[in-house]
Amino acid sequence: MELNDQTEILNEASAFFKKGELKSAEPLINQLILDGHKSAEVFHMLGTILYDQGKFNKAIRSFRRALELDPFYTDASIGLSIILNDLGRYEEGRKVFEEAQVMLAQKSAKEDPYIEEKLAIKHDELGELYCQYRRYDEGLEQYERALQLSSRVPELTMKIVDCLENLNRLTEAEAQLKSLVKTYPDFFNARTKLGKIYYEQNKIPEAIDAWENVLSRDPNHAQAKKLLAQAQNIEFIPAQEPYL
């Protein structure tokens, strides 16, 4: 097949693929491969289609072939790591993902925000997996890596705080929340969480102050109302008279 013909077929297959019309893209991709076309994009698309069909082993081979052709093809790395995680091969998935980051760092010192965010999303997903199985240390590590790459600072910081809370590292959780509240003063969920962390450290007055601060700005904040009421009930229960 002439090069121009292959380019035309690739463009058509790519257009179908981007629109999610995988059944239309598949025969075109197979035709390109049969004709000896070798590009990471083609094998990445094939891997995605095979994954969608539940043909995981074939999908893994396609993604690995894409990475052989272009080790910097981030989408193939992400696709491969997702499949490995789906199959419970978490360590392999993490290794693939981390290798992709190294390759990207070697390729260019200039950061690409789009790629950085895609990598951050993957770290976020891995963090959620670890936390699902109560492996909070490893979850914390993944969330911290995601935070280094992402602009989603409030969301990821709150996940970091949840891990620290589960690990009983309350002083660190408090520091994270104080920094977050300073940068995002209107992020009331962070202020409410800070009150909860104070409360868990028996800093009752500080906790009450944090929740009252939230309610002064958002009187209908349900969680702050609930936590404040609970704290005030404990704070102001009168001491019982001793029995004589």
How many C-beta neighbours within 10 Å does residue 153 have? 14
Residue 233 has a pLDDT of 78
Rg over alpha carbons for the chain, rounded to the nearest Å, is: 25
Contacts of 69-73 with C-beta under 8 Å, sequence gap 24+, read 69/38, 69/39, 69/40, 69/43, 70/39, 70/40, 71/103, 72/103, 72/104, 72/107, 73/40, 73/41, 73/44
Instruction: Say what the pTM is.
Output: 0.56
How far is it, in rounded angstroms, from Cα 204 to Cα 172? Answer: 18
Within 10 A of 177 (CB to CB), how many other CB atoms are there? 26
Reported as half-sphere exposure (CB side, CA atoms, 13 A), residue 67 has a value of 21
Q: What is the pLDDT along the chain (244 residues), one digit of tens a residue?
A: 444 577 888 889 999 998 889 999 999 999 999 888 888 999 999 999 999 999 999 999 999 999 888 887 888 888 898 899 888 888 888 888 777 777 666 565 445 677 788 889 989 999 999 999 999 999 999 999 999 989 899 999 999 999 999 999 999 999 999 999 999 999 999 999 999 999 999 999 999 999 999 999 999 999 999 999 988 876 544 444 444 4
Domains contained in the chain, CATH given: 36-108 (1.25.40.10), 111-168 (no CATH), 170-235 (1.25.40.10)
State the Cα–Cα distance between residues 78 and 80, nearest whole angstrom: 5
pLDDT for residue 85? 86
